[in-house]
Amino acid sequence: MAVSVAVLSTIIGLHLIAFVFAVGAEHRRSTATVKPDEYDEYTYCVYTTDASTVYGLSAFGLLLLSQTVLNGVTKCLCFGRGLVTGSSVTAWAVFFFIFSWVSFLGAEACLLAGSARNAYHTKYRGFFGGDHLSCATLRKGVFAAAAAMTLLSLVGSVFFYWLHSKADTGGWQKHREEGVGMAASDFASQQHQQTESGKA
């Protein structure tokens, strides 16, 4: 199987857009401030924009789509025609297959958890001047970790696709060369037989 530029461009493009969204989500995390009500009897949390949740879920979807395309083309390494056995290329393809899945799952977990946590707003109120009111917010770095793992997933996916294509093509070439070798051997045998019959 030859490397498809369209497939490679799709995988890279989706990963890079997901990375941009993850970085945007980190910068647009929801923050909160404690405000007193108009009578100064209660306090409540005032939250900023939820854009980070939208960015995080968008990155989640794009990354999922990219992984679907990759594993659809390569048949998830398990359901295809098989790769060349005993080859270092095949071993590296398996390594990057596992690497891409681990980094993909890590990125998706951070994006989903970060989006859910960022969308959560503290519902209760506290007495003004009493116990400190805790405004639940997403801690810094969750979406940044997702962005980093998205890049790792990109590297793993690209190398896996390239090595998978190379190993699969190598297997085809191996069988083709075996077929050419057998054909040449049969031709030589026929020539030998014709020579022997001519002498007789």
- Write out pLDDT tens, residues 53-101: 999 999 999 999 999 999 998 887 765 555 656 578 888 888 999 999 9
- Write out pLDDT tens, residues 7-58: 999 999 999 999 999 999 999 888 887 777 767 667 778 888 788 999 999 9
Q: Answer for the pair 19, 143: CB distance below 8 angstroms, yes or no.
A: no
pLDDT of residue 199 exceeding 70, the answer is no
Structural domain containing residue 188: 5-199
pLDDT reported for residue 99: 96
Which H or E element spans position 146?
Answer: helix 142-199
pLDDT of residue 102 exceeding 60, the answer is yes
pLDDT of residue 153 exceeding 60, the answer is yes
Helix (H/G/I), strand (E/B), else coil: 5? helix
Of 113, 13, 109, 104, give the one whose Cα is nearest residue 53. 113
Total tally of structural domains belonging to the chain: 1
pLDDT reported for residue 192: 56
pLDDT reported for residue 190: 62
Q: 80 to each of 49, 62, 183, how far by Cα in Å?
A: 46, 25, 28
Of 72, 110, 76, give the one whose Cα is nearest residue 93. 76
d(CA 130, CA 143): 34
Q: Answer for the pair 158, 12: CB distance below 8 angstroms, yes or no.
A: yes
d(CA 53, CA 133): 23
- Per the prediction, the chain carries an average pLDDT of 80
d(CA 167, CA 157): 15
pLDDT of residue 182 exceeding 60, the answer is no
Q: Is the pTM of this model over 0.95?
A: no
**Per the structure block, which two tokens stand in for 158?**
């690209």
- The beta strand positions in the chain, using DSSP E, are 32-36, 42-47, 126-127
Sole residue written with tokens 């290329």: 89
